[in-house]
Amino acid sequence: MALFDLTLPELRTYRSTAPAPEGFDGFWERTLDEARAAAKPVELAEVPTPLRGITTYDVTFSGFAGQPVKAWLNVPAGAPGPLPLAIEFIGYGGGRGLPIDWLIWNAAGYAHLVMDTRGQGGNWRGGDTPDRDLDGAGPSAPGFLTRGARSPETHYYRRLFTDAARAVETAAELPGVDTSKLVTTGKSQGGALSIAAAGLLPDRVAAVVAGVPFLCDIRRAVTISDSFPFQEIVQFLRANPEKAARTFATLDHFDVVHLARRIVAPALFSTALMDTVCPPSGVFAAYNELTGPKEIEVYEWDGHDGGRSFFDVKALEFAASVLRL
The set of residues, in sequence order, having a beta carbon less than 8 Å from that of 14 and lying 6+ positions away, is 6, 281, 284, 285, 288
Q: Maximum distance among all alpha carbons in the chain?
A: 58
Residue placing its CB nearer to its own copies in the complex, 24 or 227: 227
Question: Per CB under 8 A, does 146 bind its own copies?
Answer: yes
Which one of 16, 140, 188, 281 is the catalytic residue?
Answer: 188
Asked whether the CA dihedral 177, 181, 182, 187 is positive or negative, the reply is negative
Site string for its own copies, 156-195 (x = CB under 8 A): ----------------------------------------
Cα separation, 129 vs 137, in Å, equals: 19
Using CB under 8 A, which of 6, 18, 65, 234 touches its own copies? 234
Instruction: Say whether 188 is catalytic.
Output: yes
Question: Per CB under 8 A, does 302 bind its own copies?
Answer: yes
Question: Per CB under 8 A, does 2 bind its own copies?
Answer: yes
Which of 121, 118, 102 has the alpha carbon at shortest distance from 62? 118
Q: Which stretch binds its own copies (CB under 8 A): 173-181, 203-211, 287-295, 300-308?
A: 300-308
First and final C-alpha spacing in the chain: 39
Q: Which stretch binds its own copies (CB under 8 A): 22-30, 175-183, 196-204, 302-310?
A: 302-310
Work out the angle between the directed axes of helices 230-239 and 244-251 (0-180°, nearest 10).
Answer: 150
287 is in an annotated binding site: no
Residue 245 CB burial class (10 angstroms; 0-12, 13-18, ≥19): exposed
Using CB under 8 A, which of 12, 23, 30, 107 touches its own copies? 107
Question: Per CB under 8 A, does 135 bind its own copies?
Answer: yes
Cα separation, 257 vs 290, in Å, equals: 9
Using CB under 8 A, which of 66, 82, 126, 176 touches its own copies? 126
Asked whether the CA dihedral 209, 190, 234, 132 is positive or negative, the reply is negative
Question: Per CB under 8 A, does 109 bind its own copies?
Answer: yes
Smallest gap from Cβ 269 to its own copies, in A, equals: 17
Number of CB atoms found within 10 A of residue 242's CB: 8
Q: Which stretch binds its own copies (CB under 8 A): 163-171, 191-199, 285-293, 298-306?
A: 298-306
Using CB under 8 A, which of 35, 73, 85, 108 touches its own copies? 108
Residue placing its CB nearer to its own copies in the complex, 9 or 50: 50
Burial 96-115 (b: 16+ CB within 10 A, else e): bbebeebebbbebebbbbbb
Angle at 296 between CA 74 and CA 223, to 5 degrees: 100
Smallest gap from Cβ 227 to its own copies, in A, equals: 9
Binding to its own copies, residues 262-291 (CB under 8 A): 274
Question: Per CB under 8 A, does 81 bind its own copies?
Answer: no
Cα separation, 222 vs 233, in Å, equals: 7
Count residues near its own copies (CB under 8 A): 78
Question: Per CB under 8 A, does 241 bind its own copies?
Answer: yes
Residue type at position 251 = L
Q: Which stretch binds its own copies (CB under 8 A): 19-27, 160-168, 188-196, 221-229?
A: 221-229
Instruction: Say whether 304 is catalytic.
Output: yes
The set of residues, in sequence order, having a beta carbon less than 8 Å from that of 134 and lying 6+ positions away, is none
Using CB under 8 A, which of 17, 22, 26, 52 touches its own copies? 52
Number of CB atoms found within 10 A of residue 46's CB: 11
Instruction: Please enumerate, by residue number, every residue annotated as part of a binding site for substrate.
Output: 92
Q: List residues with catalytic annotation.
A: 188, 275, 304
